[in-house]
Amino acid sequence: MSTWIKKHPVISYYALTIFWSYGWWVWLYVIAPSGIGAGELPPIAFLFMTLGGFGPFIAALVISRIADGPGAIGKLFSRLLKVRANPIWFLAAFAVVPLNTWGSTALLPLFGIDPGPMDFLPKIIPGLFIGLMAGFMEELGWRGFLQPRLQRRFSALTSALIIGLFWGIWHGLPDFWGVGSQMGNLVIPYYLLVGPGILTLYAIFQAWIANNTKGSLFFALFFHASISSSAFIFSPSVQLPTVTLYHALISFAINAIEVVIIILVFGPKLLSRKPENALTENL
């Protein structure tokens, strides 16, 4: 088994991620088949959701240890301590997604849609906790393990597109459980927008930041934290299917425009103007 994993680390990583996460998440459909929209949930539902979310983290540690030897895990965690970078990358990691998510909500009235009261302050503390937890559970996997592995064979852009697809599929089960009963007939277009759509754009942002911060997982974790926190804090307070879908459409458009600019300015090969900033030192 270990020999096969060493030959196929990417497939092994993704298989273990799915096995671990879906092994926990499938029980959500047993506990609460209608998802979050069904009303008050038993505490064990949140436990299963959290345990499943550690799939990328667990897979990164296990496959790294088998494929790269005893020092691999320490090397992976050491990238969390890479905090020295041009201030522009702090801005990119901490501010881009919150501004985009807030902007998507603020633009809804232009389309005749009332997003409801934009009362963000009470959501900040729980939103930050949710975001940091999500970033820690996932980023050692997606950007720590998978991005540099894929960049051995593909360009930074292609690697990010592959991760975006993987990421979106992995998110599929909890996303359907989370919004299926609320979105009704719009659940499929919403999932495609958020899953393979917006998450792929975020994966490109992440590759761009990583390849300009020497593969820092500090910036990757906080960019991911900004995604989850912003979704909780800045999304419309009116939870109607059309409002949620329009918000996702606007968010997709804003992020897509920015990603196209990044690709045109920095180039698809490394998403960086400096070849030495690639992830090669972390492979």
Q: E strands of 169-253, at which residues?
A: none
Residue extents of the structural domains in the chain: 80-282
Question: What is the rounded average pLDDT for all residues in the chain?
Answer: 91
- Work out the pLDDT band at 37, boundaries 50, 70, 90: low
Tokens of 4: 């096969």
Across the range 237-254, mean pLDDT stands at 93
Across the range 211-215, mean pLDDT stands at 93
Residue 275's pLDDT is what?
62
> Could you tell me how many residues make up the chain?
283
Tokens of 272: 């960086």
How far, in Å, CA of 280 to CA of 229, rounded? 31
How far, in Å, CA of 67 to CA of 148, rounded? 14
How far, rounded to the nearest angstrom, does the alpha carbon of residue 75 sit from its chain's CA centroid?
22
Long-range contacts formed by 45-51: CB under 8 A, 24+ apart: 48/24, 49/24, 49/25, 49/174, 50/133, 50/137, 51/24
CB atoms within 10 A of CB 121: 7
Residues contacting 218, CB < 8 A, separation 6+: 79, 80, 81, 82, 83
Across the range 174-201, mean pLDDT stands at 82
pLDDT higher than 80, residue 182:
no
Nearest to 248 by CA among 158, 187, 185: 187
pLDDT digits (tens, 9 = 90+) for 149-166: 999 999 999 999 999 999
Q: Is 112 helix (H, G, I), strand (E, B) or coil?
A: coil
Least trusted range by pLDDT, from 39-53, 111-125, 227-241: 39-53
How far, in Å, CA of 206 to CA of 235, rounded? 21
How far, rounded to the nearest angstrom, does the alpha carbon of residue 80 sit from its chain's CA centroid?
17
**Phi, psi of 85, rounded to the nearest 5 degrees:** -165, 165
- Work out the pLDDT band at 19, boundaries 50, 70, 90: very high
> Are 140 and 56 contacting, i.e. CB atoms less than 8 angstroms apart?
yes
Q: E strands of the chain, at which residues?
A: none
Across the range 136-148, mean pLDDT stands at 96
> Are 212 and 277 contacting, i.e. CB atoms less than 8 angstroms apart?
yes
How far, in Å, CA of 274 to CA of 166, rounded? 28
